[in-house]
């Protein structure tokens, strides 16, 4: 799992049918380095731009979908409370 901040929405003009209805967002991984890592994540919990979130990546991201053959590599699994400092 990774901590990240959602910095924007992602829209695809065309995508495969199994991804229809999914909301995609651009997440910036929170770390102590100057280099920023950005990921496109599937959001199924209704997070918004500016939210700090927990994301899972790899095969674990697919487990949140009923159809396990989803081509998703990163997904939002939680919103971090703003009172939580790290």
The pLDDT tens digits for 20-66 are: 888 999 999 977 777 788 999 999 899 999 999 999 998 888 888 77
Give me the long-range contacts of 58-63 (CB less than 8 A, separation at least 24).
none
Instruction: Print the domain residue range for 27.
Output: 2-79
Q: Report pLDDT for 20.
A: 87
Structure tokens at 62: 């697919």
Domain of 16: which CATH number?
2.40.50.220
How far, in Å, CA of 56 to CA of 40, rounded?
12
The pLDDT assigned to 86 comes to 56
pLDDT of 17 above 80 = yes
Query: Which stretch of DSSP H or E encloses residue 59?
Result: helix 59-62
For residue 18, being part of any structural domain is answered with yes
Under 8 Å CB-to-CB from 49, ≥6 apart: which residues? 6, 7, 8, 9, 25
Total domains in the fold of the chain:
1
Q: What is the pLDDT of residue 82?
A: 78
Q: Between 15 and 9, whose confidence is greater?
A: 9
Q: Is residue 84 part of a domain?
A: no
Residue 26 in any domain: the answer is yes
């Amino acid at each position: 799992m990774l901590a990240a901040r959602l910095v924007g929405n992602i829209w695809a003009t065309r995508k495969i049918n199994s991804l229809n209805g999914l909301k995609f967002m651009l997440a910036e991984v929170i770390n102590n380095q100057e280099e920023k890592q950005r990921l496109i994540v599937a959001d199924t919990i209704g997070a918004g731009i500016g939210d700090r979130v927990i994301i899972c990546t790899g095969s674990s991201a697919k487990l949140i979908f009923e159809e396990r053959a989803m081509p998703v590599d990163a997904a939002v699994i939680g919103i971090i409370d703003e009172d939580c400092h790290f």
